[in-house]
Amino acid sequence: MNTKKITAGVVGAAGYTGGETIRLLLRHPQVDLVFAQSRSQAGKRLTEVHTDLIGETDLHFSPTGQDADVIFLCLSHGESKKLLTETTFAASTRIIDLGNDFRLGEQAHGRLFVYGLPEFQRERIKQAQNVANPGCFATTIQLGLLPLAKAGKLKEVFTTGITGSTGAGQSLQDTTHFTWRSNNISAYKTLTHQHLNEIRQTLSSWQRALPEINFVPWRGNFTRGIFVTSVTESDLTLDEAFDLYESFYQAQPFTHVSRSAIDLKQVVNTNKCLIHLEKAGSKLAIHSITDNLLKGASGQAVQNMNLMFDFDETAGLQLKPSVF
């Protein structure tokens, strides 16, 4: 296990995922955060934007990035590919992209990206120079379906998932405004969500004849967390299904199977995914929950960094859930 310290930087550091990544890196025992880049906030102290960091850092936002051992890209869709096309980082610099620019095998300046879902391909991530972090819904849905796909038992899936407002990013939109979200709920991108492509790509690597994945996402009237329920036909008994899932995830430090009902407060502010199963007749319901900003974004990115640098996989990620 590597015990050396590394340098890290964050590009796009003023947004939600940038802020969460900074918080984790500042507390990581083997990381020195050397820059936090933001064009819109350049020159300001980090604490002027991320006010919860008062007393924890004196860093200022920089207008440009610089070389470091690892760089986290917390940019809008399309911006990561543009940056890596226009900017040359040292060949030794490892890149972790939290956007969706490289999840389907795309590349820039010869940089090839490995899909960063540890429960799916931990060993490939360990050897990777560049990692494409999965999407938040994609992470939560896939973790609910991977054991069935690995066993070749995945049939057509009907999935619904509700997410907090932080999943839409920091820029104010009509559908993230408090007066619209409060006491409200709505569906969006029905059956067409962009995360479906990476979900199909992952699952089809284990089950070639992949059935249809039907996904309806919902906007929730809360700030963070994702609750997904996937329903499929299954010939497994409930006990057999639990045994399959528990065996699959027994060596995973952040994904856990619960035989009791689960709720979002158990995972908010953590890098955990919790899974619970229910069976009615031939239908198996798989509930999976994560914090969209942590296991669905920044926490998983740091988990990938830990694997890439041969650190303890849980380093900097032993976080307490906000259960009350």
CA distance 47 to 286: 40
CA distance 261 to 293: 23
In a 13 Å sphere around the CA of 222, the CA atoms on its Cβ side amount to: 12
8 Å CB contact between 155 and 213 = no
8 Å CB contact between 199 and 193 = no
Amino acid found at 164: G
Q: Coil, strand, or helix at residue 243?
A: helix
Point out the catalytic residue in the list 14, 136, 294, 307: 136
Closest to 218 (Cα-Cα) out of 192, 196, 186, 190: 186
First to last CA, the chain: 36
Q: Coil, strand, or helix at residue 81?
A: helix
74 is annotated as an active-site residue: no
Residue ranges of the alpha helices (H) in the chain? 16-26, 46-49, 79-86, 118-126, 136-150, 178-181, 196-204, 238-249, 298-308
Per the listing, tokens 């003023």 go with: 14
CA distance 50 to 132: 25
| Pairing status of strand 111-112 against strand 107-108 | antiparallel
Closest to 163 (Cα-Cα) out of 141, 191, 179, 134: 141
Please identify every residue annotated as catalytic.
Answer: 136
